[in-house]
């Protein structure tokens, strides 16, 4: 299987909080501004995650009241399992379908 750029074609979008429409996603590394005045810039090392684009964007939490960090978050067009919004909204650049599940006999 080859990685597909999100600029070329997008995977199926869903707002279901299940793994039925999940694909592999590649999020590239990037640096972001400090979260508080005088803080150090954060570095996100990137990686491969499972997830899918959303039909409806997840709303922003501009005051940080909806998470236990108390950190403002951007709105997001993606559900990415295991990704921390501490690093901002996920911005995948590539995706690929998940392989078929193995057949398990008991």
Using a pLDDT cut of 90, give the percent of the chain over it: 47
- Domain residues for the domain of 19 are 4-97
pLDDT tens-place string over residues 88-104: 889 999 999 999 888 99
Q: How many CB atoms lie within 10 A of CB 74?
A: 15
Domain assignment of residue 105, yes or no: no
d(C-alpha 50, C-alpha 82), whole Å: 8
As for how many domains the chain has, the answer is 1
pLDDT band at 86; cut points 50, 70, 90: confident
Distance of CA 54 to CAs 1, 10, 71, 92, 103, Å?
Answer: 23, 11, 22, 13, 29
Model pTM greater than 0.85?
A: no
Domain assignment of residue 32, yes or no: yes
pLDDT tens-place string over residues 36-52: 777 788 888 999 999 99
């Amino acid at each position: 299987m080859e990685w597909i750029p999100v600029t070329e074609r997008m995977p199926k979008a869903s707002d279901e909080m299940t793994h039925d429409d999940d694909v592999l996603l590649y999020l590239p590394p990037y640096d972001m501004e400090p979260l508080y005045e005088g803080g150090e810039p954060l570095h996100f090392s990137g990686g491969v995650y499972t997830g899918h684009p959303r039909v409806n964007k997840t709303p922003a939490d501009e005051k940080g009241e909806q998470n236990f960090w108390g950190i403002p978050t951007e709105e997001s067009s993606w559900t990415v399992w295991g990704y921390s919004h501490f690093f901002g909204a996920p911005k995948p650049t590539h995706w690929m379908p998940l392989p078929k599940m193995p057949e398990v006999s008991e």
